[in-house]
């Protein structure tokens, strides 16, 4: 059996959030992983972001340093995690895996995922307080709760 590659073709990401671009491959007897790379095509320009080979893992685009990773000790999992998504991260990402067979020939497969980074629509913050009118005997402790929803970033402040 020959190695195979699978993933998905479309991912929506939220600005300043994180997303995983799935890419997995089957392990086949007689084949060893030679290289694994992720590239980004945006505005008709393709750039390699990440490359794993015999010399280790390399992040080749500085704007992705500290923001992308691929699982290291999970054979068959080549998924790309992108953190702190920025609007220019939108584009076509290609996962490419090359294997070497027992007779020293190379086999390459790739799959492309389109990523669209969107800002979350602004929403008005709303606050829901816990139980009102709580009576607590002197010297005992009390627990106060509050839930807030809305567009990030939300900040909390308690006062009396």
Confirm whether 157 is domain-assigned: no
In the chain, how many domains are there?
1
Residue 130: predicted pLDDT: 67
Confirm whether 160 is domain-assigned: no
Element (H, E) at 51: strand 45-53
pLDDT at 159 over 90: no
Confirm whether 18 is domain-assigned: yes
Confirm whether 31 is domain-assigned: yes
The mean per-residue pLDDT over the stretch 6-30 comes to 93
CA distances from 70 to 83, 133, 136, 137 (A): 12, 51, 52, 54
Confirm whether 67 is domain-assigned: yes
| CA–CA dist 151, 148 (Å, integer) | 10
Range of the domain at 38: 5-118
Confirm whether 138 is domain-assigned: no
Query: Higher pLDDT residue, 124 or 43?
Result: 43
Residue 153: predicted pLDDT: 63
What CATH number is associated with residue 70?
2.60.40.10
Phi, psi angle pair for 48, to nearest 5°: -80, 130
Residue 137: predicted pLDDT: 83
Choose among 110, 67, 83: nearest CA to 16.
83
pLDDT at 114 over 90: yes
């Amino acid at each position: 059996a020959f190695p195979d590659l699978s993933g998905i073709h479309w991912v929506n990401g939220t600005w300043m959030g994180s997303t995983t671009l799935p890419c997995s491959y089957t392990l086949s007897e007689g084949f060893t992983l030679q290289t694994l790379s992720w590239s980004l095509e945006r505005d008709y320009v393709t750039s390699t972001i990440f490359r794993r080979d015999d010399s280790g893992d390399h992040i080749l685009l500085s704007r992705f340093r500290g923001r992308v990773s691929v699982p290291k000790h999970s054979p068959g999992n080549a998924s790309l995690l992108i953190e702190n998504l920025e609007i220019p991260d939108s584009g076509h990402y290609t996962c490419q895996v090359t294997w070497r067979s027992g007779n020293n020939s190379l086999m390459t497969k790739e799959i492309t995922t389109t990523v669209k980074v969107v800002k979350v629509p602004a929403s008005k913050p709303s606050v829901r307080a816990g139980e009102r009118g709580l009576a607590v005997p002197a010297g005992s402790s009390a627990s106060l709760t509050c839930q807030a929803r809305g567009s990030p970033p939300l900040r909390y402040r308690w006062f009396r």
